[in-house]
């Protein structure tokens, strides 16, 4: 799964050569297909400028989240998630739904919280590329949701310079240095952003890790904490 080496990368650079789970393999395969289309994003600056709109649209997912949180306890359990997929007519197998739940339940508390739910929906968007997916997304009642998820996919494609389905440290540095002004950013900024994404510290970032970091960057988690304190 290593793909072609990117600029400034050597054969000894860390590579997530074998996906850890079947779900990760499917996510990587879907991303590789999407990466053949390229990215419309031309600089990290232009991506940052999209943060407020992305944040606004992602928060509209709260309506869906609350609908499927049937017991209103602030988290979606495995059975509630299956009900959600049935209502949205997303034809995933029980195994696939369970794999998604396990992958997104970062706290391992058997409950998908709102920020985790956003990541899960975006993974569904990437994985479901058949006609039924379009029908499901339209039934969510959020016309901007599909566009927002595509922006997140597009952002990952922009970061993944060698198009192997993962983002490396060198690729992150290269992406952040591609600014509108042409000025080079501090390497420390790139490293900090990369460390925020690289949860398992293996030197490579997959799409799921990127999504969790992105919800943090746009402030989803911070606002959730504030709401919980009210």
**pLDDT given for residue 76 in this prediction:** 97
Q: Which domains does the chain have, with CATH numbers?
A: 22-219 (1.10.238.10)
Cβ pair 205, 167 in contact under 8 A: yes
Give per-residue pLDDT as tens, 8-60: 333 334 444 455 788 889 999 999 999 999 999 988 888 888 989 898 888 88
pLDDT number for residue 137: 52
Token pair of 42 as six digits = 């031309």
Task: Identify the CA nearest to 9 among candidates 171, 184, 223.
Answer: 171
Question: How far apart are alpha carbons 39 and 37 in whole angstroms?
Answer: 7
Task: Summarize pLDDT for 50-96 with one digit per residue, the tens.
Answer: 989 898 888 888 888 999 999 999 999 999 999 998 888 788 889 99
């Amino acid at each position: 799964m290593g793909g072609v080496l990117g600029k400034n990368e050597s054969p000894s650079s860390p590579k997530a050569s074998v996906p850890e789970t079947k779900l990760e393999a499917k996510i990587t395969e879907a991303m590789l297909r999407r990466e053949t289309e390229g990215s419309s994003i031309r600089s990290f600056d232009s991506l940052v400028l999209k943060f407020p709109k992305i944040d606004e649209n992602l928060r509209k997912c709260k309506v869906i989240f609350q609908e499927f949180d049937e017991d209103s306890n602030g988290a979606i359990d495995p059975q509630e998630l299956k009900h959600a997929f049935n209502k949205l007519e997303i034809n995933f197998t029980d195994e696939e739904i369970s794999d998604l739940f396990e992958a997104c339940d970062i706290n391992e508390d058997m409950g998908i919280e709102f920020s985790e739910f956003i990541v899960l929906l975006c993974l569904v968007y990437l994985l479901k590329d058949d006609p039924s997916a379009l029908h499901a997304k339209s039934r969510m009642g959020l016309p901007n949701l599909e566009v927002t998820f595509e922006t997140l996919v597009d952002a990952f494609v922009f970061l993944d310079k060698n198009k192997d389905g993962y983002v490396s440290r060198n690729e992150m540095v290269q992406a952040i240095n591609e600014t509108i002004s042409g000025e080079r950013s501090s390497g420390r900024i790139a490293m900090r952003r990369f460390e925020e994404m690289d949860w398992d510290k293996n030197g490579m970032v997959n799409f799921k890790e990127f999504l969790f970091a992105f919800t943090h960057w746009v402030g989803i988690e911070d606002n959730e904490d504030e709401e919980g304190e009210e």
